[in-house]
Chain A
């Protein structure tokens, strides 16, 4: 079993829809939780960053962390065709030598 599980999709939604992306994990030591967005033929870019539990909002994006359920989510409101990309969750512990573990990514397509 992988430390981080993420549904690969693809997820196809109409423009304006609310998108929910999720990851589950098994390591209770994870403290840092991130979402990266990767466009085709590009490197990932950091989208959202959360330390420990709770919610974080940035424009149309909301990240949620539920450590009791070992579950993180990214919500995209009013989705746009420009949101079409692969979304990768990532997480790590708080130690200096802890590794950053990525999910395999969910491919999202927003059609007009």
Chain B
């Protein structure tokens, strides 16, 4: 069974630009959640989507947004990039809600903002 696929794996942007990251969950998984991972803050929850609806959102500014499509694929967008947005962005899929904790992660998209 194919795992969680994230694209692109690496990208470099400059301040002020925007970026869109994509995530394809495991087949049959309806929940997709996104996380930002940095050395200082660890893994921080961005948002969760379930059946195309945002079910939960972390404490990030409105520049961070996401959506989920009918095939469960998800995208997240960061607008007006700042240096502090440099991080590994991880997507995870699960059969049920995120709070059950049985998540399957992709390998992440590493974003560098210059």
Contacts and interface: CB of A to CB of B under 8 A. Distances in A.
Contacts of B70: none
Interface residues of A, number: 28
A46 B110 CA distance: 21
Interface residues of B, number: 26
Contacts of B100: 32, 92
B99 A92 contact: yes
B28 interface: no
B66 interface: no
B43 interface: yes
A100 B42 contact: no
Given A43-B90, A43-B107, A103-B42, A92 B55 contact: no
A97 B26 CA distance: 21
Given A88-B43, A100-B45, A32 B107 contact: no
Given A43-B90, A44-B90, A97-B56, A34 B101 contact: yes
Interface of A: 32-34, 36, 41-46, 49, 88, 90-105
